Amino acid sequence: MTLPQVSFRLGQRQLFKFEKETKRTRQKRRDEETRREPKWYHSIYYSYNSRLVNSIRTGGTLFSGQPKPKKTDRLIDHNASLNMSSPKRFFGWLGWNQSLSYQEKWFDRYLSYHFNSDTKEIVADTVSGFAAQRIFSYSTSANTKIYGLFTPNIGRIKAIRHVVTPSISFSYQPDFSESIWGYFQEIPDSNGVIQKKNRFFYTTPTTARKSISFGVQNLFQMKTQGDEENAKEKKYDLFTVNFNSGYNFEAPEFKLSNLSTSMRANPSRNLSINLNTAHSFYEFDTALNRQINKFLWKEKKFPRLTNLNLNLTLKLQGKRKSEAQPRTPRTSSFESGITEQGESEIPGDEFNEYYEEAQDRFEAEEDFTGLDISWSTSLSFNFSLSRYNPQRPIKRYYLRISGMKVKLTKNWDFTYQAQIDLLNKQIVQHSFNFRRDLHCWVMTFRWVPSGLGKQFYLRINVKATQLQDIKVEKRGGRTSILRY
């Protein structure tokens, strides 16, 4: 039982509020050279949230008839975060952001440990009393932008711009398992090895974090001059190239992270190219079959390629239209067999056959004489290369067909998706999906003919959202009893 449980939240707001100028104060400052602007401390924001939880848990076996011992946990959890974001750039070009997060938990009991010589185990005892857990972390980041302009004047190309955005960030959080904080109790086990035991009922961070991340973003843009019909200039994003890495001061080895490179280009609306690579700054020992903590530049070598991933995505769509002939009034055989006097000239044995032919309750208002097929698909080629072990590179070639949709008729829809292993020349997975509009009802059929997910699923349900539970289902496959 959890009672009571109370929470309180205070949204982000300024620590030192900046009073904006009114029309009256602006009139007084009209003759001054400088106007009132926010100071650096006006960019400090804070937020607060807290939670009070009182839970009671009962132990014992149900229906045992024995009294169940009660266990009560009380927690007051209140978090305070302090963030500083600069509303303007320092020196006109430097953007700087800082964040300080502070969290505090209050408990009405804590854990105390002792070694039981009989069981040879470390036993935890619950001690009543006030205990507090305080956790904090700090991060800061800085960035700027550098612009380069090139005017080739080639054809309609008016200018090419290169935007460079270097950035650097630092984050810090101490190891709260150290004795200076007092959150863990150190006690020897049966082998005399010192064990650190958490004194609180909630997790305490035990991993220190002190790292620097840095990166450079490159954006290439192009401006073209308008033609005679449209004199408006156009701007295009040609491609982007980004570099990222980092340094972890707390890591026992391999402190310098891999150099990650990503490139993205959209030569056209339907074609996109993505290239991602990773380079390691450390040597690979073939005898040990692993990476060793030795920099490559000491041997005057370049960073070695460990991973490469290339993705080409092409989107295609089309629609073939044909003229649909208007529906001519249909005269059934039954209607044509009635004379002006209202007497039927059809023999009695054939009456029911002609009558049934005349009735078509599901007939559309217009005959579908033309063929209108709209379709769309997405083809994705993926190539990956893993060279963590340079002597044993791993290559993969995949072709993914996704989003293939074909409008077969007015009421029939068909979708198909597949993944083909080009290296081994086999279909890894593919599925067929059919959908049939039944006016107030709808039928869907999914079929996976091969692979681990081999199955089929048929469903007919009412279209209305409120009545979709009215349905008929049929399943089969590896997870089914039928096992087709």
Residue 307 has pLDDT above 80, yes or no: yes
Looking at the domain assignment, is residue 399 inside a domain?
yes
Which of 2-6, 92-96, 123-127, 364-368 is least confident? 364-368
pLDDT of residue 95: 86
Looking at the domain assignment, is residue 360 inside a domain?
no
Structure confidence at residue 14 as a pLDDT band (50, 70, 90): confident
Q: Are residues 462 and 401 in the same domain?
A: no
Looking at the domain assignment, is residue 27 inside a domain?
no
Q: Are residues 311 and 245 in the same domain?
A: no
Give residue-wise pLDDT tens across range 403-423: 788 888 888 899 999 999 998
Which of 257, 277, 299 is the last residue in one of the domains?
257
Q: Are residues 197 and 303 in the same domain?
A: no
Q: Are residues 249 and 389 in the same domain?
A: no
Looking at the domain assignment, is residue 315 inside a domain?
yes
Total tally of structural domains belonging to the chain:
3
Residue 82 has pLDDT above 80, yes or no: no
Residue 324 has pLDDT above 90, yes or no: no
Looking at the domain assignment, is residue 99 inside a domain?
yes
The mean pLDDT of 377-382, rounded to a whole number, is 92
Residue 117 has pLDDT above 90, yes or no: no
Looking at the domain assignment, is residue 350 inside a domain?
no
Residue 262 has pLDDT above 70, yes or no: yes
Q: Are residues 78 and 12 in the same domain?
A: yes
Residue 237 has pLDDT above 80, yes or no: yes
Q: Are residues 203 and 274 in the same domain?
A: no
Range of the domain at 477: 439-484
Looking at the domain assignment, is residue 244 inside a domain?
yes
* Burial bucket for residue 49 (CB in 10 Å: 0-12, 13-18, 19+): middle
Structure confidence at residue 181 as a pLDDT band (50, 70, 90): very high
Looking at the domain assignment, is residue 326 inside a domain?
no
The mean pLDDT of 132-154, rounded to a whole number, is 89
Which of 230, 257, 284 is the last residue in one of the domains?
257
The mean pLDDT of 163-187, rounded to a whole number, is 93
Residue 355 has pLDDT above 50, yes or no: no
Which of 376, 405, 426 is the last residue in one of the domains?
426
- Greater model confidence, 320 or 381: 381
Q: Are residues 159 and 130 in the same domain?
A: yes
Q: Are residues 161 and 90 in the same domain?
A: yes
Q: Are residues 182 and 120 in the same domain?
A: yes
Q: Are residues 174 and 290 in the same domain?
A: no
pLDDT of residue 336: 45
Q: Are residues 181 and 53 in the same domain?
A: yes
- Greater model confidence, 298 or 308: 308
Q: Are residues 383 and 246 in the same domain?
A: no
- Greater model confidence, 86 or 125: 125
